Amino acid sequence: MRDSTEPESLDAYFQNQVSRLEKALEDFLPRPSQNLTQIHEAMRYSVLSGGKRIRPLLCLAVCDMLGGDGKEALIPACAIELIHCYSLIHDDLPCLDNDEYRRGQLACHKKFGEAIALLAGDALLTLAFQVVGTLKNSGKAQRILSELSQAAGTFGMVGGQVMELILEKNELDLPMLDAIHIQKTGQLIKTSCLCGAIVAEAKGDIESRVLKFGEYLGFAFQIVDDILDGNGYLRFMSAHEAREKASEIITKAKRELEGFKNNSHMLQMADFILSRGAEKESHT
């Protein structure tokens, strides 16, 4: 049974880390300047508009668990969030999901126009790699750049999005849905955990277990998202069955961290991802 103080402890940890992250993002993002005011405003609007920051928090929490430098981990954490925000801007465009709102406010293209939104997304992706380049340790920077590039590219987010676009709804089956979500959502979540391990200089089995944890977590994250959105996995199973599946995956994820000291926040974050929307679901 979970100790009654744990949620408060996790909340305090979240608040402290998010505060550090927001300050770092603010510093990395360009400020409006002559001739470039609109694009810089669009970038800041899309990044500094809130969000749970789950991906960068995973990077920071893994680094903390493994005794790494939390200040150094802020660099890939910020890069990860910039990549995530770029993907949200592009996902919302009329040519893709055509969503008018994001995080409770107008989507970037509804506020600044499609051309600026497209370029703001491009600029955030480019800035992410510039940010990683500020790491003093060139070996870590090179490894993180390689991992993030793959997670964001055709073997990651872009590939998952393309798979989703080319499939007609009547052609989609459960294995294909798994493959789409592993690339579109799971790769960046997995890589967020891996980046924390790279900063902490984890080796061998430790890195492998963190990576496996991230794979499971990304898979469960998307299943819960589908439950909340009422689509995806709910085309093949009930919400109860989907949550049971997510719970089994989270259990596997947590097993990967058995024996690690200072793993409490990581375990709590796994529980948090599973519990999203559960209270609301229980009343419907």
pLDDT at 277: 64
What is the C-alpha to C-alpha distance for residues 4 and 206, in angstroms, rounded to an integer? 30
pLDDT at 283: 42
Q: Which two tokens stand for residue 73?
A: 């981990």
Instruction: Please report, rounded to a whole number, the percentage of residues in the chain having pLDDT higher than 90.
Output: 79
Q: Where are the domains of the chain?
A: 7-279
What is the C-alpha to C-alpha distance for residues 104 and 241, in angstroms, rounded to an integer? 30
Q: Using CA of residue 268, residue 64, residue 48, residue 160, what is the dihedral sign?
A: negative
pLDDT at 3: 42
Express each pLDDT in 63-91 by its tens digit: 999 999 999 999 999 999 999 999 999 99
CB 59 within 8 A of CB 76: yes
Q: Which homologous superfamily is 7-279 in?
A: Farnesyl Diphosphate Synthase (1.10.600.10)
Q: Using CA of residue 28, residue 32, residue 37, residue 41, what is the dihedral sign?
A: positive
* pLDDT value at 21 more than 70: yes
**Binning pLDDT at 50, 70 and 90, where does residue 1 land?**
very low
pLDDT at 281: 52
3-state secondary structure of 81: helix
**Binning pLDDT at 50, 70 and 90, where does residue 11 land?**
confident
* Residue among 168, 186, 199 nearest 67 (CA): 199
pLDDT at 44: 97
pLDDT at 167: 81
* pLDDT value at 209 more than 90: yes
- Give the CA angle between residues 265, 213, 184 to the nearest 5°: 110
In this prediction, residues 109-113 reach a mean pLDDT of: 97
Range from 64-78, 172-186, 265-279 carrying the lowest mean pLDDT: 265-279
**Binning pLDDT at 50, 70 and 90, where does residue 169 land?**
low
* pLDDT value at 38 more than 90: yes
In this prediction, residues 138-147 reach a mean pLDDT of: 97
Range from 4-8, 13-17, 85-89, 177-181 carrying the lowest mean pLDDT: 4-8
